[in-house]
Amino acid sequence: MATLIPGNLRTTAMGILPHDEVEPALKLALLLDIPFWPQLPRLSFYEDMYVQAAEHFPGIQLFPEEKTLRFDTTAFYEELPQLLAYWDDLDYFDISPSYSAVYHKFLNLDLSGYIAVRGQMEGPVSFGMKILDESDRPIIFNDEVRPLMMDFMARRVEAQLVRLKGKHPNAFMFVDEPGLQFVFSSMSGYTDLKAKEDLDRFFAQIQRPRGIHLCGNPDWEFLLHRDLDILSMDTFTNGEIIRCYAGAIKRFLARGAVLSWGIIPTWYEAFGEANLDQLTAYLEDLWETLVQGGIDREQLLAQSLLGPARCCLVNPDRTQTVTLAYAWLREMSQRLREKYKLQ
């Protein structure tokens, strides 16, 4: 099956950057083969990924001074008619300028010289687990709110994807789902069967190409069986586990999907101990394990991207480590593309 997202070990990254200024963050993102619009929570409360996802969702209460957001059930039912009145207006679900200065600057750029561009939105499972109601209960457990939330978040992702495709025909979306790693915990109370049902409903409403990014360690078999066009993962941390999923990865690639290997650490301590040669060798060794498990090497490389391992906001040097990590990422891509003679 033909792929919808360019691979061949080109570079991209997830959305959050530690910058508190728009231009340097945007400049860094534009250095990658597949650029994205950065989310900058250090710049503004409204640049937080959960706050951006919450725009227009009925019942949401924002507290910028406390840097928190909550959900009020009574307000949800009061505000629901307004949302439904706008339901067919896709533009209503896109991110407004007050919720992201970076997104609209990105849209005003000439992006035609890139092979693809990428956007992102917080995923419904993580959003539902994060946002608490007046009883401190995650809204994902509210059987009346959750279906509407799934459909609402799908509209938000679809709106952004349509907008980005208007700028570039090869636009695609990451749905950030850090909460998925908790679904498989016995402490969650939100089962993998319910997550399967909800995510299948969610993605069925979004045009291709679209996929999931997460930095944690979920059930990889579960994710590789979802109808995704791309899966972005923290390979630096979870590589040894990922080695065990050759069969599922083979089926994932056979559908034309792409894997984004998050291999360069972006947090200060790990980066300081890392070595580009060793990271490259580690990734190639991981690939070799998958090839020995029955995956065609040429197909694997053709349907792979390279990225940082994860976002990082807590480095003592603020943006320096992340900037160096992006430089290493571009260097690794160049080396491997030359080695394997990839166009």
pLDDT of 219 reads 87
Give the pLDDT band of residue 298 (cuts 50, 70, 90): very high
In a domain, 59, yes or no: no
Structure tokens at 219: 């059930």
Q: Is the pLDDT of residue 216 over 90?
A: no
Chain centre distance of CA 172: 11
In a domain, 62, yes or no: no
Structure tokens at 170: 């090869």
Contact 263, 306 (CB under 8 A): yes
In a domain, 63, yes or no: no
In a domain, 84, yes or no: no
pTM of the model: 0.95
Range of lowest pLDDT (25-29, 189-193, 272-276): 189-193
Sign of CA dihedral 213, 217, 220, 223: negative
Give the pLDDT band of residue 342 (cuts 50, 70, 90): very high
**What is the total count of domains within the chain?**
1
Which CATH number characterizes residue 107's domain? Answer: 3.20.20
Contact 240, 217 (CB under 8 A): no
Contact 290, 246 (CB under 8 A): yes
Distance CA 338, CA 343 (A): 9
Structure tokens at 208: 């291709």
pLDDT of 65 reads 93
In a domain, 93, yes or no: no
260 torsion bin: left (phi>0), alpha (psi -120 to 50), beta (else) = beta
Phi, psi of 110 (to 5 degrees): -85, 105
User: 195-234: buried (b, 16+ CB within 10 Å) or exposed (e) per residue?
Assistant: beebbeebbeebebbbbbbbbeebebebbbebebbbbbbb
In a domain, 23, yes or no: yes
Structure tokens at 226: 């979802």
Q: Is the pLDDT of residue 310 over 70?
A: yes
Chain centre distance of CA 260: 10
Distance CA 268, CA 321 (A): 6
Contact 117, 164 (CB under 8 A): yes
Q: What is the mean pLDDT of the chain?
A: 95
Residue 186: give the domain boundaries.
10-44+99-130+140-339
* Cis bond upstream, residue 81 (ω within 30): no
In a domain, 60, yes or no: no
Give the model confidence (pLDDT) of 24-38 as tens digits: 999 999 999 999 999
Give the model confidence (pLDDT) of 104-143 as tens digits: 999 999 999 999 999 999 999 999 999 999 999 999 999 9
Strand boundaries in 18-84, DSSP class E: 60-63, 68-71
In a domain, 290, yes or no: yes
Give the model confidence (pLDDT) of 171-189 as tens digits: 999 999 988 888 866 556 7
